[in-house]
Structure 1
Amino acid sequence: MSEAAGSTEESPVHVLYAAIEEAAGLLDVECARDKVLPILDMYGDALAQAVVAFRLGTGRKHEGELDCRFTTPLDVDPYALAVEHGLTPRTDHPVGALLSDIRDACPIDSYGIDFGVVRGFKKIWLVFPRNDLQAISKLAAIPSMPPSLGKSIEFFDRYGMGETVGLLGIDYKHKTVNVYFGEPPTGGFAPDAVRSMLREVDQAEPSDQMLELGRQAFGIYVTLNWDSPKVERICFAVATEDPTSLSVQLDPKVERFVKHVLAADPTTKFVYAVASQPDGEYYKLQSYYRWQSGVLDIMQLEDGALDNPV
């Protein structure tokens, strides 16, 4: 369940598609060939150099789905390519202009895309250079950015999320934006702070597991949209080489997937995360099918952080 587990002389598209089918099969998810192959075909041989990860989530919203994400060449506009190939419709909504507006205002280190093996294309990721993270105030001034980003600056500052952003995700399907902070307070986010921040943005009371992951988080990200003045969702992420070693109980589906992945490749890297919702919380596991040293820069982690993530 990682590239280290085997190799082939087949094309990068066929190799990755086979890995996606295998991963989906572990979760009893039927891979939609007509949704997945057109996405892979857009990038062809470039997939051989891409960082690739799989992500699954708990809860009804994520039932029957597996996400795949991979980095894409910097010299190709991933949004224009997705529109050209009919993966997402051209729109007058600000979400359609956001990538271009960010690119005009900020340096971009790399791109990535995210899709479901059942529901197809979802997101584009923009990674800022590790030595040139972007200030919240600068991003909030971008014309097509959700106004809630600027309205939440005091909220971010109050809870020690930091003033800079390393990664943005634009969800074209749901018309939302993920903003990733990589500077959690020393010692993580204290339980009282987690409870307070969730209460302030009308989220459900956190479970003990969420509070524990908040303490261990290497980063935090928020989800924003254009229709609400508040943060829509908050997520705490923990990096680890073995999610079963974390001091929280894994969802049975997640645990089964982890065991399969580690059996195939014990060196696989993971990110385990918990996300808030107004009616509760859900969990997400990301496993890396193909890892590169540059992923640590994307995650804003120091060398060796995954050896002792907590």
Structure 2
Amino acid sequence: MSENAALARVHADIEKAAGLLGVPCERAKVRTILDAYEEHVARSVIAFRVATGARNAGDLDCRLTMFPPDTDPYATALAHDLTPKTDHPVGGLLGEIHRQFPVDTSGIDFGVVGGFKKTWSFFPGDALQRVEPLAELPSMPPALGENLEFLTRHGLADRVSLVGIDYRHRTVNTYFGNAPSVCFEPGTMRAILREIGLPEPSERLLRLGREAFGIYTTFGWDSPRVERICFAAMTRDPLTLPVRIEPEIEHFLRHYPHEGDDRRSVYAITAAPDGEYHKVQAYYQWRAQMLDIMLLSDSEEDGG
């Protein structure tokens, strides 16, 4: 399939996916973003992200990942006027990460309404990074280093697998690969949330912990605290997880367009100061290498 044909197919299916949620798809905005990353679209892993809560209402996010290691997705966004240039440290962070750390692949998030939102930088699965040198980057939120003791205590400080940079909300996500299994036990999950001043976890969050493989934290530049923490489970069918799925997400999962018959999703619950919200990352275009990037095996992707 030619690059133009691939773009047209992906664009049409993004519109279909947005329609399932009643989200108006900004055709010109979406096409401008796809055109900017045209050379990567056909070979990317592509996922749709649907989430509950007011913060996520009225949009469908799309994630493109597995860009080549030498790609600078933020520079591409600036070059195509997808995001405004800024003097805030958020604008310098990706370059610092890519210059000083081994980046295996990268990617972006964009909304069909909100446009360009995030970049993602994945470290090699056999070279997970330590929090301490990341925290020393000039543009990194100081909150990451200020929470080093907390992350060390829970066995996460040397397991950073992925860094996400949210340019709109000016926050940073740090994902932890091969997190200790104790992190997903009910007692530990309660302790983690208590330590960072978040509400007691719901039973749904505790049940998801039985199947979870991933954990990540969110930091900003304006607060020393961990702003949010998220637990995620990889599954071929989120409807089999031991949690109740919101009707709008269930409807989306049953009907969203996807490539081939092999469906995969990541279902996650985020704990935040104003309560929990749920999200699903449903893969539209999958590549088997993604399991290695996510530090999962075939036997692990259905939970735990």
Task: Find 1:22's aligned residue among 2, 8, 16.
Answer: 16
SS of the residue 1:166 aligns to: strand
Q: How much does 1:162 deviate?
A: 4.9
SS of the residue 1:11 aligns to: helix
SS of the residue 2:63 aligns to: strand
2:55 paired residue number: 61
SS of the residue 2:42 aligns to: helix
C-alpha distance in structure 2 between counterparts of 1:131 and 1:65, whole Å: 35
In the superposition, relative to structure 1, how do residues 54 and 79 fare at CA in structure 2: closer, same or farther (>3 Å)?
Answer: same
In the superposition, relative to structure 1, how do residues 111 and 264 fare at CA in structure 2: closer, same or farther (>3 Å)?
Answer: closer
Task: Find 1:275's aligned residue among 270, 277, 294.
Answer: 270
SS of the residue 1:49 aligns to: coil
Task: Find 2:212's aligned residue among 211, 214, 217.
Answer: 217
In the superposition, relative to structure 1, how do residues 58 and 294 fare at CA in structure 2: closer, same or farther (>3 Å)?
Answer: same
1:3 paired residue number: none
- The alignment status of 1:297 with 2:292, answered yes or no, reads yes
Structure 1 portions without partners, runs of 5+: 1-6
2:115 paired residue number: 120
Q: Amino acid of the residue matched to residue 298 of structure 2? A: D
Kindly indicate whether the alpha-carbon contact (under 8 Å) linking 1:188 and 1:217 is maintained by their aligned counterparts in 2: no
My pick for the range that moved more, 80-89 or 116-125, is: 80-89
Kindly indicate whether the alpha-carbon contact (under 8 Å) linking 2:259 and 2:286 is maintained by their aligned counterparts in 1: no
Q: Amino acid of the residue matched to residue 224 of structure 1? A: F
Kindly indicate whether the alpha-carbon contact (under 8 Å) linking 1:222 and 1:233 is maintained by their aligned counterparts in 2: yes
- The alignment status of 1:43 with 2:37, answered yes or no, reads yes
Q: Amino acid of the residue matched to residue 193 of structure 1? A: T
Q: Amino acid of the residue matched to residue 240 of structure 1? A: T
In the superposition, relative to structure 1, how do residues 247 and 38 fare at CA in structure 2: closer, same or farther (>3 Å)?
Answer: same
1:195 paired residue number: 190
Deviation string for 1:128-173 (max 9, x for gaps)?
Answer: 1111111111211111111111111111122233522111100111
In the superposition, relative to structure 1, how do residues 190 and 262 fare at CA in structure 2: closer, same or farther (>3 Å)?
Answer: farther
Deviation string for 1:166-205 (max 9, x for gaps)?
Answer: 1110011111000000122226522222122212222222
In the superposition, relative to structure 1, how do residues 8 and 243 fare at CA in structure 2: closer, same or farther (>3 Å)?
Answer: farther
Kindly indicate whether the alpha-carbon contact (under 8 Å) linking 2:128 and 2:177 is maintained by their aligned counterparts in 1: no
SS of the residue 2:245 aligns to: coil
Kindly indicate whether the alpha-carbon contact (under 8 Å) linking 1:262 and 1:268 is maintained by their aligned counterparts in 2: no
In the superposition, relative to structure 1, how do residues 206 and 45 fare at CA in structure 2: closer, same or farther (>3 Å)?
Answer: same
Kindly indicate whether the alpha-carbon contact (under 8 Å) linking 1:90 and 1:96 is maintained by their aligned counterparts in 2: yes
Kindly indicate whether the alpha-carbon contact (under 8 Å) linking 2:182 and 2:188 is maintained by their aligned counterparts in 1: no
SS of the residue 1:231 aligns to: coil
C-alpha distance in structure 2 between counterparts of 1:146 and 1:263, whole Å: 37
Q: How much does 1:235 deviate?
A: 0.2
Q: How much does 1:75 deviate?
A: 3.3
Q: Show the 5 A alignment for 1:98-247.
A: 98-186=93-181, 188-247=183-242
My pick for the range that moved more, 49-58 or 294-303, is: 294-303
Deviation string for 1:72-113 (max 9, x for gaps)?
Answer: 343332111111211111111111110111112101111100
1:256 paired residue number: 251
Task: Find 2:303's aligned residue among 295, 305, 309.
Answer: 309
> TM-score under structure 2 normalisation?
0.94
C-alpha distance in structure 2 between counterparts of 1:187 and 1:267, whole Å: 31
In the superposition, relative to structure 1, how do residues 266 and 91 fare at CA in structure 2: closer, same or farther (>3 Å)?
Answer: same
In the superposition, relative to structure 1, how do residues 102 and 264 fare at CA in structure 2: closer, same or farther (>3 Å)?
Answer: closer
Kindly indicate whether the alpha-carbon contact (under 8 Å) linking 1:195 and 1:206 is maintained by their aligned counterparts in 2: yes
C-alpha distance in structure 1 between counterparts of 2:4 and 2:127, whole Å: 38
Across the two proteins, how many residue pairs are aligned to each other? Answer: 303
Kindly indicate whether the alpha-carbon contact (under 8 Å) linking 2:20 and 2:256 is maintained by their aligned counterparts in 1: no
Q: How much does 1:252 deviate?
A: 0.8
Q: Amino acid of the residue matched to residue 41 of structure 2? A: L
Structure 2 portions without partners, runs of 5+: none
My pick for the range that moved more, 65-74 or 52-61, is: 65-74
C-alpha distance in structure 1 between counterparts of 2:258 and 2:30, whole Å: 26
C-alpha distance in structure 2 between counterparts of 1:54 and 1:125, whole Å: 15
C-alpha distance in structure 2 between counterparts of 1:141 and 1:8, whole Å: 43
Kindly indicate whether the alpha-carbon contact (under 8 Å) linking 1:11 and 1:45 is maintained by their aligned counterparts in 2: no
